[in-house]
Chains A and B, each alone.
Chain A
Amino acid sequence: MWYKIEVVDKSGIFDALGQSVKRGILGLGIKNVKQVKFIQVYNLLGSVTLEEVKSICENLLSDKVAQVYRILGVANKASFGSNAHLVEVAYNPGVMDPVEASVLKGIQDLGISGVTAVKTAKKYIISGKLSAAQLKTISEKLLYNKLIQHVVDPQISQGFLGHLPEYNFKLIIVELLSATSRRLLEISKQGQLFLNLNEMRQIQSHFRKLKRNPTDCELETLAQTWSEHCYHKTFRGNIAYQERQAVPALGNLAIKNLLKTTIMKVTKELNKSWCVSVFKDNSGIIKFDAKNNICFKVETHNHPSALEPFGGANTGIGGVIRDAMGTGLGAQPILNSDVFCFAPPDLAFNKVPRGSLHPKRVMQGVVSGVGDYGNKMGIPTVNGAILFHEHFVSNPLVYCGTVGIIPKDKSFKQTDPGDLVVVIGGATGRDGIHGATFSSGELTHESETVSSGAVQIGNPIQEKKVLDTLLAARDLNLYSALTDCGAGGLSSAVGEMGAALGAKVYLDKVPLKYSGLTYMEIWISESQERMVLSVPVKNIDKLVKLFAHENVQATVIGEFTATKRLELYYEDNLVCDLAMRFLHDGLPRIVKKAVYIQSKHREPKILLKKDYSVDLLKLLSHYDICSKEWVIRQYDHEVQGGSIIKPLVGLTNDGPSDASVTKPLFDSDKGIVIANGINFRFGFIDPYWMAASCIDEVVRQIISVGGSLEEVAILDNFCWGNPDKPDRLGGLVRAAFGCYAAAKAYGLPFISGKDSFYNEFNLHGKSTSIPGTLLISAISVMPDVNQALSMYAKAVGNLIYLVGNTRDELGGSHYYDLYQALGNVVPRVYFKEALASFQALSRATKKGLIKAVHDCSDGGLAVAISEMIFSGDLGAEIFLREAPYLSDNPRNDSLLFSESNSRFVVEVEKNKQKEFEKALKGRPFGLVGYLTQSKDLKVYGLDGKICINVATSKLKETWRAPLKW
C-alpha cells in the first residue's frame, strides 16, 4: 500500500518557510505573488492499516499544536483554485535523504513494523496570477535543483520507483595494449578519467610489460590516484619558469617540485620544535599543551558547490571535519572556519552564463549548507571571510577548515600487515562518483549533466555518530590507523593506508545503500560519512560491538598485507591487481611551462576632493567590506562553550572581529587563535605581493586579538585556473615564492596545504579563469585567553594611534574598485619594519597598555576607524597630519583608503600614553586622534580642514545594509 501524507501549518500559525519562499520570489522580480504555502509530504510504502497510518501521522509526522495532516490516496489532484499553483519537489532516485531513515526509525519506535520505504517531498502552493514561464522560473531558480531533485508530475505517480536492478558480475577489460594515441585519449575521455596522453601511455606501457590489458577498475584506480586532486601533480612536478618585468625578480627558474622549493622549504628551514606533524597526515599538527596537540586543515569544494551549492558546501565541510577525525588516531573537531568567494549577489540575470546558478542562490545555498553541517555536528564556526568578484560567477570558491584537538600519544598512526580493513559509517551508494577526477578538469556548461554524479548531500548526524564512537574506540586503542573516505572513496583511502604494505579488499562485503552497484562503482564511490580503519584482528569483535551500540555500522572488507600489491575481489573474482609502487610512483614526470609577465593596468585619474564622506560610505557598503552578520548568525559560534573572541563583537555584538579566540579545554586558560588572509585583488597586479599580503594580514589579525608571533603556523590554499596554461602557472609560481618570502621573514612554518586547479569555466570554447586566489589560514596558541582583545572602541577620551607606515599603494584597493580600476602600485610588505612593529605591539598588549586594536585592511584607515567606533557606539576626531605617511605626493584619499600592509589602529587610555609610546619607540606610529562623546566621525585632512564628517549611526547603517537579507 502507498500512502501520501501532507502536513501543513494550521491557519493562524505563521508559515515562516512559505514566507521565505515568497521573499525569494519577490527577489526574482515577480511581484504578483500573494501567498506561498509550504506543505511537507511523506510517502509511505508497506503493508500498514489506515489506523496505523493515522497513528504515525498523529504521533510522529505532525505537531498537533501547530499543524494538521491529511492522508491522500495515490491520485492527488486536489484543486486550489484558478490562481493557485502547485509545485511538488522530490529527490531524484539514488540521492540520499537522511529524513527517510529517521522516519523509518520513528515508525519502529511507535511499534509499527509494516512500513518498508519512505520518500519525502516538499510542496509549495503559490497564489497569484502567474504565467507558466514565471512558474518555471520560480521552480528552477528557487525551489529545486534538477541535479538532485525533480518536480513531481501530479498526473503520474512518481513517489516510488520500482526495485533497482540487481547487479550481475561481469568483469570489464579495457583494450589498451593495441590502442593508438587517439584511442587512448578517447578511453580517458569516455571514462571521465581526466588522464592526459602521457599518463595514458605510461599505463599502456606498464600493462604491455605485464602482457595483459587492465580491468576498468585498475584504470579507474590509477586515474583517481593520479588525479590532480589526489596527487597534486602541478605542485610536485617540474616547472620551467620564465618572467619579465617583475619586482622582485625571481629570474628564469627550472623548478623541481614547487612545493618543496617554497612552502615546505620554509617549514624545514624554520625547524620549529612545536611542529609535530607537517604535510604528512590529513591535517598539520602542532603542540598545544603538555598533554594535547592541535591540528588544522582547510579544504576546498568549489566545483560541487558551483553545481549544487547546499550539497557541495555541506559535503565540503563534512569532508574537512573528517580530515580532523582522520588525523593521527583521530582528533576531536573544535572549530570550523569558512571562506567563500562569489560573484556579486545583485548580478543581472543576463550576466549569468547558461548552466550556472545565480550568485545569490549560490551564496544562500553555500551558507545554509555549511551552517547545516557545522551546527548539527556541534562544531562552532568562529571565523571566516566572504569576497566578491564577477569572475566567480560560474565557479565560486568554498574553503572549509576544521581545527581538532588530539592527545599527544594519539597523534601518529601505523598500519601493520594482517590488520583488517574496516569501513565505518554510512553505506555506499552511487553518489559522488568521479568527484576527484571531476575537480581535475574545467567546468563546462555540460558539467551539470556529465558530472551530476559528483553532486551529493551530506548527513551530519551520521558523521556525528561516527565521531562519538570513533573517539571512544580510539581511547580504548582498538585500531592502529585510520583515514577518511574523501575524494576517490575507498580507492584513495585504502590505497593510501596500504601504500607501503599492500591490501586485499573484498568489494562485495562493502555495505550498500541499494543494490545494483558494480564492483567499480563500489570502489570509487564518494558516498559521505565513511572512514577506513585498520584494526588488529584481536580487537575486531570489541570494535564492531562498540560502534553497533550507537547504531554505527562497522564492516570488515579486507586486510592489509605485506605483498605491496593492491588486490581487489568481487565474489572471488580478482578485479584489480596493481603494484603499489606503480600506483603511487608510476606517474610520469613532465615539465610544465610557466610564464609570468607583469601586466600594466589602467591608473585611474581621481581628482582631489574636499570631502570624502561619500567615498567612505561607498566603501562601507562594498560587498567585500560590509557586514556579514546575515551569514554569521546562521552558524552556531557558541557551541562547545569555548568562544572567547567571537566573530561578532561590540556593544551590540555586531562589529567585525579580526581573528577568533577559542578556549578548547574547560580546565585550562590556553587558547587558540584562528585568522585568515585572502586578497585576490592584489593578485591581479602581482601574485607575489598578494601572497605576502595574505600572510601579513593573518599576522595583523592575530596581533589585533592580543596574540603574538611566538607559535603561529599557517596553511596555504591555492585556487587557481588551468595550470597547463603557462600564464596561469606563472602567477602560481610567483605566489608560491611570495609565500616563502613572507613566511620565512615572519618565522611562520606551513604545516598543511591544499590546491584546487582548473577553476575555469568553459563557455562556447572560451575559457575564463577565476582570479588566482590564495587563502592563508593561521593557527596560533595563546598562553592565556584572559589577554584576548576585541576590536571595538571602548571609552570616550581614549587615544587613537595608527601604527605602521601608510604608502601610496592604492593598486588593487577597494577605493580604486569604486572607480572600476586596478592601478599598478600594489601594497608591498616591508618585512623588517613590519616584524618590529608586530613585536612591539604584541609586547604592549601583554603589558595591558592597549584597550583595542583593529587590523587596517580592506578600505584602509578610514574603514578601520569607522568599524571601531560604530562597534563601540562612540565618535572620533582624527587628524591625518599625525599619521606616519611615506609619500612623494601626499593626498588625503591615499592616506584614508590606501591598503598598505602592516598597519593597525590602536586605542590606548590617556594614562597609558607614555608607557605605550615608550613600548613603540623606534616604530612608525602616530597619535592620530581620540574617541569622542559626540557620535560622529570627524577627520581633518593634511591641510587641517575637515574632510570626513559622518554620524556614527550612518556609518553603521550603511555598513549593515547590503547583506541584510
Chain B
Amino acid sequence: MLKPKVCVLRTAGTNCDKETAAAFKLVGATPELWHINSLLEKKRCLDNFQILALPGGFSYGDDIASGKLFANELKFKLAKELQEFICQGKLIIGICNGFQILVKSGFLPGNSELKQNVSLITNDSGKFEDRWVYLKASGKSVWTKDISQIIYLPVAHGEGKFILEDKSLLNKLEQNGQIVFKYCTALGEPARYPDNPNGSTQGIAGITDVTGRILGLMPHPERHIFSRQHPRHENLKGKKFGQGLAIFKNGVEYSIRTS
C-alpha cells in the first residue's frame, strides 16, 4: 500500500505548516513542505501529490484581508493546475488561514468561475482570540466521515466570522450537506459567544465543496492530535490521541482507498 503524499503549501507568514505535516505523518501519509515559489516554478509537481494542505498562519501578514494575497496567487497563477487536481478526485484541506484562502480564491464553497460568494471577516469581538471550542459535525465530506460526537479543538484567529452573499446560498449549502462543522455548546446546543467565538452565521465553523473533498475550517485539528494537548488532559490518562486526528485519518484513508 502506497503512502499518500501530502503537499503542505507554505509562503511568507505561514506558521502551522510543521504541525500540519506532523498530523499527516502520524496517520501514515508522507507530507512534504513546499514553498509557493517552488511550486510556481514547477507547477506539474502538484501531480505527485494526493492531498494538498493549506496550513494556518498569517500569509503575507494577512495584509489587506486575511488570506487575500495568497488566495490571489493561487487564483491567478495556479488555478488551472488546482482545478485539475480537484478533477482528479484528490483532496484539499485548508485550516484557519488555509480556509480563508480557499474561500477568498473561490474554491470554497466552489463554482466553476471561482467566484467568491462567502467570506470570513473580522470577529464580532474586533480582536484575535485563542480559545477551545466544541464542534458538531454534519453534512457530507470524506474528511468528516464517522465523526459523530462533539469534538473539541482550539481556534486562534481574528477574522473567522463566516458570512454568505445571500440567504439562498445558505439553504443551498445546507441542502448539499456542505456545512460540515458548527460551533456548539459543550452539550451540543447552538452556540452564542464565546462558544461561537466570532459571530459566524449559524455558528458555521467549516464547509466543504459539493464533492465533499475540499474542506475548510477555522478551528485547528492539528493542534489536538494527542490527548495531552487537551486543556484538561490530566483527566484523560490512558488516551493517546486527540480529537482532531480523525480528520487527517479520514483524508489519508480516503486517498489510500481511491488510489
CB within 8 Å of B: which residues of A?
Answer: 13-14, 16-17, 19-20, 59-61, 63-66, 98-99, 102-103, 105-106, 109-111, 368, 371, 375-378, 459-461, 464-465, 468, 549-551, 632-641, 643-644, 646, 648-649, 651, 653, 663, 666, 785-786, 788-790, 794
Which of chain B's residues have a CB closer than 8 A to the CB of A794? 234-235
* B60 near A636: Cβ-Cβ < 8 Å: no
* B116 near A106: Cβ-Cβ < 8 Å: no
Give the residues from 122 to 159 in chain B that come closer than 8 angstroms, CB to CB, to chain A: 122-132, 154, 156
Give the Cβ gap from B133 to chain A, nearest Cβ, in Å: 10
CB of B22 within 8 Å of the partner chain: yes
Mind listing 20 A-B residue pairs with CB under 8 Å?
A14-B124, A16-B122, A63-B119, A63-B121, A65-B119, A98-B61, A99-B64, A102-B61, A106-B69, A106-B72, A109-B72, A110-B76, A376-B61, A461-B60, A633-B130, A639-B56, A641-B229, A643-B229, A644-B229, A794-B234
* Distance, CA A110 to CA B68, complexed state (A): 12
* Distance, CA A61 to CA B22, complexed state (A): 35
Stretch at the interface among B10-18, B83-91, B247-255: B10-18
* A105 near B60: Cβ-Cβ < 8 Å: yes
* Distance, CA A376 to CA B161, complexed state (A): 19
Which of chain B's residues have a CB closer than 8 A to the CB of A16? 121-126
Q: Assess A376 versus B156: contact at CB under 8 Å? Given A16-B124, A637-B130, A653-B132.
A: no
Which of chain B's residues have a CB closer than 8 A to the CB of A549? 35, 37-38
Of all chain A residues, the one with the shortest Cβ separation from B73 is: A109
Give the residues from 34 to 90 in chain B that come closer than 8 angstroms, CB to CB, to chain A: 35, 37-38, 56-58, 60-65, 68-69, 72-73, 76-77
* B37 near A550: Cβ-Cβ < 8 Å: yes
* Distance, CA A551 to CA B73, complexed state (A): 15
Of all chain A residues, the one with the shortest Cβ separation from B159 is: A16
* Distance, CA A641 to CA B228, complexed state (A): 10
Of all chain B residues, the one with the shortest Cβ separation from A635 is: B130
* A461 near B61: Cβ-Cβ < 8 Å: yes
CB of B225 within 8 Å of the partner chain: yes
* B126 near A102: Cβ-Cβ < 8 Å: no
* Distance, CA A461 to CA B127, complexed state (A): 19
* A378 near B104: Cβ-Cβ < 8 Å: no
Q: A641-B19, A641-B225, A794-B234 are in contact. List 11 more A-B contacts (CB 8 A).
A: A13-B163, A20-B126, A65-B116, A98-B63, A102-B60, A368-B127, A375-B156, A376-B15, A633-B129, A638-B154, A790-B232
Which of chain A's residues have a CB closer than 8 A to the CB of B119? 63, 65-66
Give the residues from 150 to 208 in chain B that come closer than 8 angstroms, CB to CB, to chain A: 154, 156, 161, 163-165, 199
Which of chain B's residues have a CB closer than 8 A to the CB of A643? 229
Most chain A CB neighbours (cut-off 10 Å) among B119, B124, B156: B156
* Distance, CA A638 to CA B15, complexed state (A): 12
* B234 near A641: Cβ-Cβ < 8 Å: no
A640 interface neighbour in B18, B132, B165, B232, Cβ under 8 Å: B18
* Distance, CA A89 to CA B23, complexed state (A): 44
* A461 near B163: Cβ-Cβ < 8 Å: no
CB of B213 within 8 Å of the partner chain: no
* Distance, CA A103 to CA B22, complexed state (A): 33
Which of chain A's residues have a CB closer than 8 A to the CB of B5? none
B61 interface neighbour in A460, A468, A663, A789, Cβ under 8 Å: A460
* A633 near B76: Cβ-Cβ < 8 Å: no
Which of chain B's residues have a CB closer than 8 A to the CB of A66? 119, 121, 163
Most chain B CB neighbours (cut-off 10 Å) among A65, A98, A375: A65
* Distance, CA A598 to CA B65, complexed state (A): 57
* A639 near B69: Cβ-Cβ < 8 Å: no
* A102 near B76: Cβ-Cβ < 8 Å: no
* A790 near B64: Cβ-Cβ < 8 Å: no
CB within 8 Å of A: which residues of B?
Answer: 10, 12-16, 18-19, 22, 35, 37-38, 56-58, 60-65, 68-69, 72-73, 76-77, 104, 116-119, 121-132, 154, 156, 161, 163-165, 199, 220, 222-223, 225, 228-229, 231-235
* B232 near A641: Cβ-Cβ < 8 Å: no
A641 interface neighbour in B22, B63, B118, Cβ under 8 Å: B22
Of all chain B residues, the one with the shortest Cβ separation from A640 is: B19
Of all chain A residues, the one with the shortest Cβ separation from B75 is: A59
Q: Assess A464 versus B222: contact at CB under 8 Å? Given A14-B199, A60-B68, A641-B229.
A: no
Q: Assess A102 versus B69: contact at CB under 8 Å? Given A13-B163, A66-B163.
A: yes
Which of chain A's residues have a CB closer than 8 A to the CB of B232? 649, 651, 790
Give the Cβ gap from A931 to chain B, nearest Cβ, in Å: 15
Give the Cβ gap from A661 to chain B, nearest Cβ, in Å: 10
B64 interface neighbour in A20, A64, A102, A648, Cβ under 8 Å: A102
A378 interface neighbour in B15, B61, B121, B154, Cβ under 8 Å: B15
Ranked 8 nearest A-B pairs via Cβ: A378-B15, A102-B63, A65-B119, A641-B19, A20-B126, A16-B126, A461-B61, A16-B122
Give the Cβ gap from B182 to chain A, nearest Cβ, in Å: 19
* B223 near A641: Cβ-Cβ < 8 Å: yes
Of all chain B residues, the one with the shortest Cβ separation from A632 is: B130
* Distance, CA A404 to CA B64, complexed state (A): 31
* B68 near A106: Cβ-Cβ < 8 Å: yes
Which of chain A's residues have a CB closer than 8 A to the CB of B76? 109-111
Q: Assess A103 versus B63: contact at CB under 8 Å? Given A63-B121, A646-B231.
A: yes
Which of chain A's residues have a CB closer than 8 A to the CB of B68? 60, 63, 106
* A106 near B64: Cβ-Cβ < 8 Å: yes
Which of chain B's residues have a CB closer than 8 A to the CB of A551? 12, 37
Which of chain B's residues have a CB closer than 8 A to the CB of A790? 232, 234
* Distance, CA A110 to CA B127, complexed state (A): 30
Give the Cβ gap from A15 to chain B, nearest Cβ, in Å: 9
* Distance, CA A61 to CA B164, complexed state (A): 19
* Distance, CA A632 to CA B62, complexed state (A): 21
Q: Assess A638 versus B123: contact at CB under 8 Å? Given A13-B163, A375-B128.
A: no
Which of chain B's residues have a CB closer than 8 A to the CB of A98? 61, 63
Give the Cβ gap from A678 to chain B, nearest Cβ, in Å: 24
Q: Assess A103 versus B64: contact at CB under 8 Å? Given A109-B77, A378-B57.
A: yes
Of all chain B residues, the one with the shortest Cβ separation from A795 is: B235
* Distance, CA A103 to CA B223, complexed state (A): 31
* Distance, CA A648 to CA B231, complexed state (A): 9
* Distance, CA A854 to CA B16, complexed state (A): 32
* Distance, CA A771 to CA B161, complexed state (A): 43
* A60 near B58: Cβ-Cβ < 8 Å: no
* Distance, CA A636 to CA B69, complexed state (A): 22
* B156 near A636: Cβ-Cβ < 8 Å: yes
* A550 near B35: Cβ-Cβ < 8 Å: yes
* Distance, CA A549 to CA B12, complexed state (A): 11
Of all chain A residues, the one with the shortest Cβ separation from B21 is: A666
Most chain A CB neighbours (cut-off 10 Å) among B16, B58, B220: B58
Give the Cβ gap from B119 to chain A, nearest Cβ, in Å: 4
* Distance, CA A666 to CA B165, complexed state (A): 41
* B229 near A464: Cβ-Cβ < 8 Å: no
A464 interface neighbour in B15, B117, B124, B163, Cβ under 8 Å: B15
